[in-house]
Amino acid sequence: MLNKLKLLSLHKYDYDKAVSGIRVWYDLKIGDEQFKTGYYKAFQKKEDMGDMENELRDHFAEGKLFIKAPTIEPGKYPVVLSPHATGIFAHESFGHKSEADWMIGDETMKAEWVIGKKVANEKVSIVDVGDDPCTSGYCPIDDEGNISEKTYLIKNGILTGRLHNEATAELLEEAVTGNARAINFEYEPIVRMTNTYFEAGDLSFDELIKPIKKGYFIFIPASP
């Protein structure tokens, strides 16, 4: 801890971030066929707003194509996820399990998520990074004063790390990762993700889908 305090004393960290945005949710219907969708966009600067009116019109036109889309047949299929869908999967299905405060006092969880355990295909690497200013999880210094760093949660299919604040790191005898976050000064910092995502592979989209005879592409649009 002393070394970190010394490091912080040598540097001045000053950052401010405000994000604005718009969300529009709507239902499209033709007869008994219905499709629910929505448009959303976030931006930090006014000049980043773009032409949202025409973007919304394009989104609406695209949504109409799905009103009478065929229903997916039940079964097991290969699935390819769009980048945004992959990010949601990393966040919801794995990222929350990596927040170490959920493990405290839970021996079953500790036994299930042992560092060094193979948990995915060898091509899978998931990281958490807080120092990218172009993302919503930008947090270069956490709310305990620890500097953000790139934390591998899975590397080449192996469970490699967890997300910590100072308390969970001490209890589990692991390194602090700079993931202590609080809503505001009235709340105690707890362990939460910053930007959690799969590292890119080496295949193009066409190469990825080429061997698939029948499967599904799960597409979730990112902010335009």
For residues 47 and 66, state if they share a domain.
yes
Question: What does the pLDDT look like over 20-74, one tens digit per residue?
Answer: 888 888 899 998 888 888 888 877 777 878 888 898 898 888 888 889 888 888 9
The pLDDT, as a whole number, for residue 46 is 78
Domain residues for 107?
78-198
Instruction: Return the closest-CA partner of residue 101 out of 9, 8, 206, 181.
Output: 181
The pLDDT, as a whole number, for residue 161 is 94
Helix, strand and coil content of the chain, in percent to the nearest 5, comes to 25, 25, 50
For residues 103 and 185, state if they share a domain.
yes
Residue 43: inside a domain, yes or no?
Answer: yes
For residues 86 and 180, state if they share a domain.
yes
For residues 151 and 59, state if they share a domain.
no
The pLDDT, as a whole number, for residue 221 is 65
Question: What does the pLDDT look like over 207-221, one tens digit per residue?
Answer: 999 999 999 988 876
Residue 15: inside a domain, yes or no?
Answer: no
The pLDDT, as a whole number, for residue 138 is 85
For residues 131 and 113, state if they share a domain.
yes
Top-confidence residue, 3 or 70? 70
For residues 97 and 164, state if they share a domain.
yes
What is the overall mean pLDDT for the chain?
Answer: 86
Confidence band of 192 (pLDDT split at 50, 70, 90): very high
The pLDDT, as a whole number, for residue 15 is 67
Confidence band of 13 (pLDDT split at 50, 70, 90): low
The pLDDT, as a whole number, for residue 1 is 47
Q: Calculate the CA 92 to chain-centre distance.
A: 8
Q: What pTM value is reported for the model?
A: 0.79
The pLDDT, as a whole number, for residue 119 is 92
Residue 51: inside a domain, yes or no?
Answer: yes
Q: Is 192 buried (19+), middle (13-18) or exposed (0-12) by CB count in 10 A?
A: buried
Structural domain count, the chain = 2
pLDDT of 11 strictly over 80 = no
Question: What does the pLDDT look like over 140-175, one tens digit per residue?
Answer: 889 998 988 899 999 999 999 999 999 999 999 999
For residues 121 and 171, state if they share a domain.
yes
Confidence band of 86 (pLDDT split at 50, 70, 90): very high
Q: Is the backbone of residue 177 left (phi > 0), alpha (psi -120 to 50) or beta? A: alpha
Question: What does the pLDDT look like over 91-115, one tens digit per residue?
Answer: 998 899 999 998 888 888 888 889 9
